[in-house]
């Protein structure tokens, strides 16, 4: 059966293969000056990606390796700060390995064996599960370095990355409402048949296209800083479940992640299911929690090396649809943070790869109608990958928002290794994709049977 031609007025989605010389020249000029410039001629590409974080750089890498002309627009200049725990689980390690990123310890990574969980009077160390689907170790690397490394890796693959290029809004076809490119704050126009929003939690591009955050999805808040500490070489990521606000046990955890460079990343993360979520002073909570730590760990003001910074964690698909009118959402822009544990980097990279695969297949179709059919599969592929699991995560978030449940879970769970190994696989979304043990089969079956909303 042959594909039908699109109706008159439908925009052409064929790859444009724009030239890069003018773009590169202006990029180099912008590195030394932020003065406003007059409007310049329109530049084009096959795909424009807004944001060069883990999602955007991953999209750029995979599109470039597929031979497409991809232009990634980053509003800041590398290296740049991002609020994060800096800890990568085996899911993220797998994503890095798939891209060919050097991840040996000699390449600047701090390797860790698993999690140390403290709470309810108990303490347990759990190694990451030994699976064929995922490596049995995690990594730590500061986001100031991590994001820059991913961006440069995408550039080596052929992606064009323009730093200090803040996107101001979309270019929209008035007849169809379809996005056809973006404008920047200094008046430049960039056009492409497809645009990827990978511009983080606030995703101004998504909002400008009418895609707002969903209020029926969980939201987290994290604050963190760094301290000079003798614990910087810890082989485990450490999570403390005893976070108290007065007499109430809060739904969240405190963390201590050794950076391997003489410092530890220390922070707290909370969910919006807690009572008085918007009224909590998170920085004060962090200081109060650290005040109870052993003095020899060094978590004191005189040892603090960075400001205390905070960020929102958009969880469980809190912005949808993930594709509409030429715009695809990836990573935090699409609310893909894991509700169980607050992990975002792995899902940013995985969704970035998935978006790139869909785009590559779409642009290989000979007609606009055929390309659009492929693009429409992106949201359903995301739901197949994460939908049921995220639904379970939303149920989990509601449960731990009840102080009585949180107290019971920490008191009776941490002291039971079998329970905690099960919990580790559940919260980390780390199961064999095929086969596996009884726990893997149970968790996979439950995730598949749970409706993806």
What are the residue ranges spanned by the domains of the chain?
21-81+143-215+316-385
Instruction: Give the whole-angstrom CA distance, residue 250 versus residue 178.
Output: 44
Tokens standing for 385?
């990958």
Q: Provide the whole-model pTM.
A: 0.90
User: For 339-351, what is the mean pLDDT?
Assistant: 96
Q: Which residues contact 362 (CB under 8 A, 6 or more apart)?
A: 13, 194, 371, 372, 374, 375
Tokens standing for 144?
């100031």
Given this model, what pLDDT does residue 250 score? 86
Contact status, residue 205 vs residue 195, Cβ threshold 8 Å: yes
> What digits encode the pLDDT tens for the residues 238-290?
999 988 877 778 889 999 999 999 999 999 999 988 666 777 889 999 999 99
> What digits encode the pLDDT tens for the residues 284-329?
999 999 999 999 999 999 999 999 999 999 999 999 999 999 999 9
Strand partners, 314: 219
Alpha carbons within 13 A on the beta-carbon side of 57: 23
264, 382, 268, 277: which is closest to 323 by C-alpha?
382
Extract the runs of DSSP E, i.e. beta strands, from 302-400.
309-314, 323-324, 327-329
Exposure b/e, 217-250, CB count within 10 A at least 16 = b: bbbbbbbbbbbbbebbebebbbbbbbbebeeebb
The DSSP annotation for 151-217 comes to: HHHHHHHT-EEESS--EEEEEE-TTT--EEEEEETTS-EEE-SEEEE--TTT-HHHHHTT-PPPTTS
Q: Is the dihedral of CA 446, 423, 133, 355 positive or negative?
A: positive
Superfamily of domain 21-81+143-215+316-385: FAD/NAD(P)-binding domain (3.50.50.60)
Tokens standing for 357?
């695969």
Task: Give me the count of residues in the chain.
Answer: 453
> What digits encode the pLDDT tens for the residues 161-193?
999 999 999 999 999 999 999 999 999 999 999
Given this model, what pLDDT does residue 13 score? 61
Given this model, what pLDDT does residue 36 score? 40
- Phi, psi for residue 320 in degrees, rounded to 5: -140, 160
pLDDT band at 37 (very low <50, low <70, confident <90, very high): very low
Q: Residue 12 pLDDT > 80, yes or no?
A: no
Eight-state DSSP code of residue 150: H
Instruction: Give the whole-angstrom CA distance, residue 95 versus residue 344.
Output: 13
Strand partners, 223: 268, 310
Instruction: Give the whole-angstrom CA distance, residue 195 versus residue 205.
Output: 10
User: For 50-57, what is the mean pLDDT?
Assistant: 98
Given this model, what pLDDT does residue 20 score? 42
Given this model, what pLDDT does residue 38 score? 46
Which residue is it, tokens 């409007």? 39
Contact status, residue 103 vs residue 153, Cβ threshold 8 Å: no
């Amino acid at each position: 059966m042959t594909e039908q031609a699109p109706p008159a007025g439908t925009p052409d989605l064929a790859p444009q293969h724009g030239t890069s010389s003018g773009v590169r020249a202006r990029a180099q000029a912008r590195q030394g000056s932020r003065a406003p410039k007059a409007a310049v001629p329109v530049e084009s590409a096959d795909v424009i990606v807004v944001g060069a974080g883990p999602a955007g750089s991953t999209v750029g890498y995979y599109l470039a390796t597929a031979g497409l002309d991809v232009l990634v627009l980053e509003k800041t200049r590398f290296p740049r700060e991002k609020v994060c725990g800096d800890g990568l689980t085996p899911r993220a390690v797998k994503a890095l390995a798939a891209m060919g990123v050097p991840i040996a310890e000699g390449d600047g990574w701090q390797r860790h064996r698993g999690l140390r969980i403290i709470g309810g009077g108990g303490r347990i160390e759990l190694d990451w599960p030994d699976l064929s689907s995922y490596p049995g170790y995690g990594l730590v690397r500061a986001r100031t370095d991590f994001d820059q490394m991913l961006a440069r890796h995408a550039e080596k693959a052929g992606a064009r990355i323009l730093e200090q290029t803040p996107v101001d809004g979309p270019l929209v076809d008035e007849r169809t409402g379809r996005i056809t490119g973006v404008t920047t704050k200094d008046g430049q126009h960039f056009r492409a048949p497809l645009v990827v929003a990978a511009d983080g939690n606030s995703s101004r591009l998504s909002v400008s296209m009418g895609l707002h955050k969903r209020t029926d999805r969980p939201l987290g808040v994290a604050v963190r800083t760094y301290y000079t500490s003798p614990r910087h070489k810890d082989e485990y990521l450490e999570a403390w479940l005893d976070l108290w606000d007065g007499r109430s046990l809060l739904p969240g955890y405190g963390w201590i992640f050794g950076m391997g460079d003489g410092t530890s990343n220390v922070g707290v993360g909370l969910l919006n299911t807690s009572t008085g979520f918007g009224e909590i002073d998170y920085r004060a909570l962090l200081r109060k929690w650290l005040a109870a730590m052993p003095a020899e760990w060094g978590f004191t003001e005189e040892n603090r090396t960075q400001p205390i910074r905070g960020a929102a964690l958009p969880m469980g698909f809190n912005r949808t649809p993930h594709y509409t009118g030429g715009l695809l959402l990836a990573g935090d822009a699409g609310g893909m943070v894991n509700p169980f544990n607050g992990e975002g980097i792995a899902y940013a990279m995985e969704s970035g790869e998935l978006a790139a695969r869909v785009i590559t297949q779409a642009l290989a179709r000979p007609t606009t109608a055929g390309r659009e059919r492929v693009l429409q599969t992106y949201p359903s592929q995301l739901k197949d990958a994460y939908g049921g699991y995220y639904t379970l995560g939303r149920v989990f978030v509601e449960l731990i928002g009840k102080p009585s449940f949180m107290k019971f879970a920490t008191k009776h769970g941490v002291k039971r290794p079998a329970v905690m190994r099960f919990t580790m696989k559940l919260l980390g979304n780390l199961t064999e994709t095929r086969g596996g043990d009884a726990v893997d089969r149970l968790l996979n079956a439950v995730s598949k049977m749970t409706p993806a909303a």
